Amino acid sequence: MRLGRHIGMIGILQTAFWPVAAAAVPVLTFESRGMKLQRELVESQVGPIWAMTFLPDGNLLMTIKSGAIKKYDVKKKSSTNVTGTPPVAVFGQGGLLDIVLSPSFKKDQKIYLSYSKQVGPNLYTTALGVGRFDGKALLGFREIFVAQGSSTKGEHFAGRIVLDGPSIWFSVGERGERDNAQILTNHLGKILRLTLEGKAYPDNPFVGRKDALPEIYSYGHRNPQGLVKHPITGEIWAHEHGPRGGDEINIIKKGLNYGWPKATFGKEYWGPTIGRSLVEGTEPPIHQWTPSIAPCGMIIYNGNALPGWKGLVIAGALAKTHLNLTELRNNQMVAEERLFAKETLRVREVEQGPDGEIWYATDDGSLFRIRKI
């Protein structure tokens, strides 16, 4: 929930316009981009699923916002609880967030988690930790990074993780205090590059500067809840929430300022503009959504099972309650498809399965699988 303990105009307005979720049918056949597809509801009432990752054996791990991790057995179609999860601060939009396997998981069995953390009286921030998964439990979990900067507000924790060889890309939201995104002495409103032990990556752009934190790779972000490595170019792509309009897709480049709140296509929830859409010295998005769809979760599809979706950016939509397919050519949007919007289910997470099928999860605790028929 956006409100939690946070009582403010933004939380009230956004919550007021959330639709009442319409139930999904167990099996749905539909067409998309020349393909006949089937969507199956494989699990329901799991709890608010925030993130997912597939294990080498094809089974699925899911984080539940309340702090649990569930393992879903794809063959048995049932889930069990993973023990040994760390304590998290369930506060506003915060809780247990992303989950990602180590690049050498088959050898080290390490799993990285992000979560909201209480760091003082009514003060919260975003943290990162790692533990070893033995198939049933998370063992020896330890915290390796805590974002500097905190807020009493319950919004914009971000927390998406990309593991890329020897480095971790990690998104941290500005916590609803927009000026944080332009301040280089905290981690809020930034995308960070860390070592696998949570330290600043050695060639980050602000290493050695006294007026900036060395973990920062880019800044001027609002609430990046999508973060991926492009399967072809190797670039880091992110999407982030705008306010009323101005959700963005960005290609993350070293040391650049992505503008928030100086440069945004969005407006205040109560009406007026916030900044200008384009500001010299800031990096414009390659695509923006106005009105907002509230994107959450993100992949760039690179499988063969759904050939019509090859290369598409696939994201969840919280505000517009759909699965979003965006086709970009030369970094410009040329086509978009919005699936399942009539169900009014808030799509939180999207993952590509090991066989190329698409799995996605919604805030009401539903887990879906899409495949070609």
Peptide bond just before 291 cis, omega within 30 deg: yes
DSSP label at residue 303: -
Distance CA 303, CA 30 (A): 19
| Element counts in the chain: helices (H) and strands (E) | 2, 25
DSSP 244: B
Task: Tell me the β-bridge partners of 113.
Answer: 99, 129
CA distances from 297 to 39, 50, 100, 151, 211 (A): 18, 9, 13, 24, 32
Which of 213, 214, 256 shows the shortest CA–CA distance to 235? 256
CA–CA distance from 240 to each of 65, 160, 264 (Å)? 19, 11, 11
Which is the catalytic residue, given 6, 156, 239, 322? 156
**Dihedrals φ, ψ of 308, to 5°?**
-70, -15
Q: How many CB atoms lie within 10 A of CB 330?
A: 6
- State how far the Cα of 107 lies from the Cα of 148, in Å rounded to an integer: 32
Structure token pair of residue 210: 């006294």
Element (H, E) at 108: helix 105-108
Please name which of 372, 357, 371 lies closest in space to residue 52, comparing C-alpha atoms: 357
Is residue 241 among the annotated active site residues?
A: no
Cα–Cα distance, 224 to 239 (Å, whole number) = 6
Catalytic residues: 156
